[in-house]
Amino acid sequence: MKMVQVKCYSGYIYAEEPRSFIWQEKELGIKSVEKAWQEPCKRLFKVVTEDGKLFELCYNEPDDQWSGVELTGTIAQGKMQNAKWKMQSERKDLSERLLDFAASGIKLTARLNRTAVGRYIANQLMRASGSAGANYEEACGAESRADFIHKIATRVEGITRVIILA
């Protein structure tokens, strides 16, 4: 990987999403971030530039430096990889939404009356909303597609219970 200058979006954290970078003395705009992940002290991104090239960018937090490498391969390979990265990104998105769902369940329980019935419903609501994300993550570790479907199907009833309670 060689050192690069990167312009990035920084929301609540620095280097949240790269927007463009300098490669061989030319600024390349980023069309899409296909994959983003973290390793210890690093933020990594697989990006597609506006001219269709595939790159991997890495922000090294302790050194406060960016590096990058152009990934080679045919367009078809890139599209196949892009589909795989998109699926992984959607998985991450669902995991985050389920975490938000659990947090919402906990916040809702705080507003329930402190009667025997209110405590019972609050207890059920917290356990069911909190388990949805954990069960999804467990299902993602399934050994086969059939195993994944079975694990998800058995967990849907827990989410249904939360919806009925809420």
For the chain, give every domain's residue range.
2-72, 91-165
Tens-place pLDDT, residues 124-137: 888 877 887 888 88
pLDDT of 101 > 60? The answer is yes
Average pLDDT of the chain?
81
Query: What local confidence, expressed as pLDDT, does residue 114 receive?
Result: 86
Task: Using pLDDT thresholds of 50, 70 and 90, give the confidence band for residue 29.
Answer: very high
Q: How far apart are CA 70 and CA 112, in angstroms?
A: 54
Tens-place pLDDT, residues 34-83: 888 888 889 999 999 998 899 999 999 889 999 999 987 544 455 555 55
End-to-end CA distance of the chain: 51
Query: What local confidence, expressed as pLDDT, does residue 76 receive?
Result: 42
Average pLDDT over residues 120-124: 86
